[in-house]
A and B are shown apart, each in its own frame.
Chain A
Amino acid sequence: MRPRETARRLLGLTAGLTVAVVTVAGCNGTSQGGSTQGQGGKGAAHGAIDYAWWGGASRNEKTNAVISLYKKAHPKVKIDGQSSDFDAYWEKLNVEAAGKNLPCVPQMQARELNDYTKRHTLMPLDKMVKSGAIDVSGIPKNVLDTGRGTDGKLYMIPYGAAYDGIMYNKTIVTKAGLPTPPTNFTWDWYTNWLTQAKAKLPKGVAASNLDGGNADVFISYTQSQGASLFKGDKLGFSKSMLAAYWNMWEKLRKSGATISAAAQADQGTDTPLEQSFMAQGKVMSATTPGNALEDAQNAINGVKGGKLAITTHPFGSSGLGNVLITSGLSISANCENVPTAASFINFFTNDAKGAHAFSSDNGAVTVTKLLDAQINDPKTTPEKKEELEVYNEIVDHKAPVIVYPSGYTSVFVDAYTRAYQDISFGRKTVAQAVDSFFKEADADLQQG
């Protein structure tokens, strides 16, 4: 072969391949909401489906237990379970979505849900609910509605509802001679509590984490003031509200009631619970997910750091602002075995034995009947019970439904944390940070 010709052929080949790749990608995304066939989800469950979730060792064990219960009831079905940790899970899911290759049943969370619904990678489930393939009658309405997309259709059946609350170290509180938070405690009570605690705590223990950069706390604050985080694709709260809120945290930080900005950044959002100040007995209180109580208690036992408890976020002028962060199951638009997927979701959500085996590992079980059974079960640990009771309290206070716009975790949460870090590290004033945050969030939410 002559080299010039070789080169020309190579070039031709490359060009051809490039075109092929471009066409392949170009074909993507044209389908709307997947195949229409089998959307009722009725029909015998058989064949294989993939189910992917996020979780560590103990959740994997529980999930696998539910899967084997389902297999026992449906011997003709093969379920391929895949687990990874939270970050890796979304990374993989994004690439799979680009390749139109999502697992049949991907686990979703309300905060991320609309990143996927907006791009039509999930199947609306309303028809399957209507046909009875998926039973949602046991789930309270405000919990079920967290599974809706921005278009109002149901895309996720929530099976577990988590919430963020104030976790506190009872032993430290009592030793300092302080009261534990009463029911319906307010934001003022809370900040006073922290300020007073400062003088009474032993050296090396702070009254609180520096939670001003945690967007999930701010959600509770806005809701408790009668505002809402989002109005459609726009921010639903005012600049002055955010400024007041951040000033509140700055006052706490400067008075020494909280841990330092650097220590907070060090903990970050990804630090394992076991390495957190709370689980090491180094803070009196901090915002923490309710379902972390059991694990945090287990970790703090390792350093003999005391007894932990959890309660709601503080009350504001409009009452309790806690929202629910639900996790649930969806069906991907590229799923080819919809009846089986629907049957599995139905089982995961409603089966009593399954719920018992899973024991509300990823937030309180959403079906009221199953929840009551779990609270009354003598085998449920006291920590789990406490977590579930606080959940009940939040549901009773009519936890508002938040529809998170697409780009919530990727854009809003990151920008929010960064803006508060700029303040707490003294790089911007509160007013400057509020301004730049509004600019960034508004622009990016519209982009997303």
Chain B
Amino acid sequence: MTTYEETVAGQDASGATPTREKSRRKRKWRSALTAYAFLTPWLLGLVVITLGPMLFSLYLAFTRYDLLSPPKWVGLANFRRMFGADPRFWQSVRVTLTFVLVSVPLVLIVSLLLALFLNRGIRLLGIYRTLFYVPSLIGSSVAIAILWKQVFGTFGIVNRALEVVGLHHGSWVGNPGTALYSIIGLNLWAFGSTMIIFLAGLRQVPANLYEAASVDGAHVFQRFWHITLPQLTPLIFFNVLLDTVHAFQAFTGAYVVSGGSGGPSDSLLFYTLYLYQKGFVEFQMGYAAAMAWLLLAALAVFTAIAFSTARFWVHYGDEA
């Protein structure tokens, strides 16, 4: 049986006698053992199905591999080509960065605002929440490309509406200047899943905090700023991190809407779409693996920065 003191013992090692030291070490062992027991399924999966393929792809990044003949070691050639001799690679970086910078804040702000709006005891909340979520349900289904052309295509509803008010635009999906924004729209359309995480988080804010605040006479905005927002920071952090990572890896929308080509004029050539083209269409798996690990490195830097700033603004309940 562990006791309350044991859990804090880790932080308070001062003044330990030899016998206490020994029993402490023993407890540490036991705690480690417990932890690894909890971790067993994940570790098993990590070793058997994740790490092997990951390391293999790291090896591939330094080879030329057409999927069917054995990989051939080429050193840094893939990376040199990427940086020096591949304008489409840079185009894919540009497209992806634009997407991340516009789409992530947009989705986060919209979903947080709507989550707050819906959480404030509106009648029919259950129905509204479900309806907001419906777009996320079909977010990746086969029908989506057809639907999206029905909205943003030449004969789509957006165009018809613009024609009614006397503005003519033409296809949004087909125009390289606007195609990316239709994908950003597609992404925003499915903001429901981010909103759900916020809503679930709002549910975890202990009600007594609000009760205390309302006794103190705090108004809506003060309550949001001093109670809701700090309590929500772990999930804001989670959503910022994950939405950014997912935006960097965004694939399906552009793949489906452009029919896999990344067109028109490479305006939808997302990083992972280009990676996919290289690997599975052009059979340059080595190059694709190199691109993947470069992305991983970039995201690792981003994540590390995010975690190191988290100390200053993310409030965890376990830091009591």
Is there a chain B Cβ closer than 8 Å to A20's Cβ? yes
Residues 397-411 of chain A, each 1 if its beta carbon lies under 8 Å from chain B, else 0: 000000000010011
Q: How far is the CA of A331 from the CA of B247 in the complex (A)?
A: 41
B47, B51, B70, B263: the one within 8 Å of A26 (CB): B70
Complex interface: chain A residues within 8 A of B32 (CB): 3
**Residue pair B263, A417 in contact (C-beta under 8 Å):** yes
Asked if A425 is at the interface (CB within 8 A of a chain B CB), the reply is: yes
Cβ-closest chain B residue relative to A274 = B146
Q: Is A46 at the interface (CB under 8 A from chain B)? A: no
**B238 contacts partner chain A, Cβ-Cβ < 8 Å:** no
Contacts of A30 in B (CB 8 A): 70
**Residue A28 CB within 8 A of the other chain:** yes
Residue of B47, B69, B149, B265 with most partner-chain A CB within 10 A: B265
The 3 closest A-B pairs by CB, nearest first: A266-B174, A270-B259, A265-B264
Which positions in B face A, CB cutoff 8 Å? 29, 32-33, 36, 43, 47-48, 51-53, 55-56, 59, 66-71, 145-146, 149, 153-155, 170-171, 173-176, 258-261, 263-266, 277, 280-284
Contact across chains for B261 and A94 when beta carbons are under 8 A apart: no
Chain A residue contacts of B48, Cβ below 8 A: 17
| Chain A residues, Cβ within 8 Å of B174 | 261-268
**Which of B29, B52, B261, B277 is A20 in contact with, Cβ under 8 Å?**
B52
Q: Which of A71-79, A113-121, A230-238 contacts the other chain?
A: A113-121
Q: Are B149 and A271 in contact (CB under 8 A)?
A: yes
From the candidates B53, B68, B265, name the one contacting A120 in the complex (CB within 8 A): B68
Knowing A25-B56, A119-B68, the reply to whether A421 touches B265 (Cβ < 8 A) is yes
| Complex contact B259–A269 (CB within 8 A) | yes
Contact with B along A88-125 (1 / 0, CB 8 A): 00010011011000000000000000010001110000
Task: Flag if B56 contacts A260 (CB, 8 Å).
Answer: no
* Cβ-defined contact, B47 with A410, below 8 A: no
Task: Specify which chain B residues have a CB less than 8 angstroms from the CB of A251 in the assembled complex.
Answer: none
Known contacts A25-B56, A263-B174, A266-B171: A411-B259 contact under CB 8 Å: no
A262–B259 CA distance with the chains assembled, in angstroms: 15
Indicate if the CB atoms of B170 and A14 lie closer than 8 Å.
no
Q: Which residue of chain B has the shortest Cβ distance to A27 in the bound complex?
A: B70
A326 at the interface (CB under 8 A from B): no
B173→A266 contact, CB < 8 A: yes
Q: How far is the CB of A14 from chain B (nearest CB, A)?
A: 5
Given contacts A20-B52, A266-B153, contact A87 B260 (CB under 8 A): yes
Residues of A participating in the B interface, judged by any CB pair closer than 8 Å: 1-3, 6, 10, 13-14, 17-18, 20-22, 25-30, 87, 91, 94-95, 97-98, 115, 119-121, 260-272, 275, 280, 407, 410-411, 414, 417-418, 421-422, 425, 427, 444, 447-448
Q: How far is the CA of A220 from the CA of B138 in the complex (A)?
A: 41
Whether B66 lies near A119 (C-beta < 8 A) is yes
Q: Give CA–CA (A3, B43) in the complex, Å.
A: 13
**A115 in contact with B283 (CB, 8 Å):** yes
5 further A-B contacts with Cβ under 8 Å, apart from A3-B29, A25-B56, are: A29-B70, A119-B67, A262-B154, A270-B260, A425-B176
From the candidates B70, B155, B265, B283, name the one contacting A280 in the complex (CB within 8 A). Answer: B155
CA distance A268 to B153 in the complex (A): 11
Q: What is the CA–CA distance of A28 and B47 in the complex, to the nearest angstrom?
A: 23
Residues of B within 8 A of A448 (CB): 282-283
When C-beta atoms are compared, the residue in chain B nearest to A280 turns out to be B155
Please determine whether A262 and B68 come into contact, CB atoms closer than 8 angstroms.
no
A10, A14, A25, A265: which has the most chain B beta carbons within 10 Å?
A265
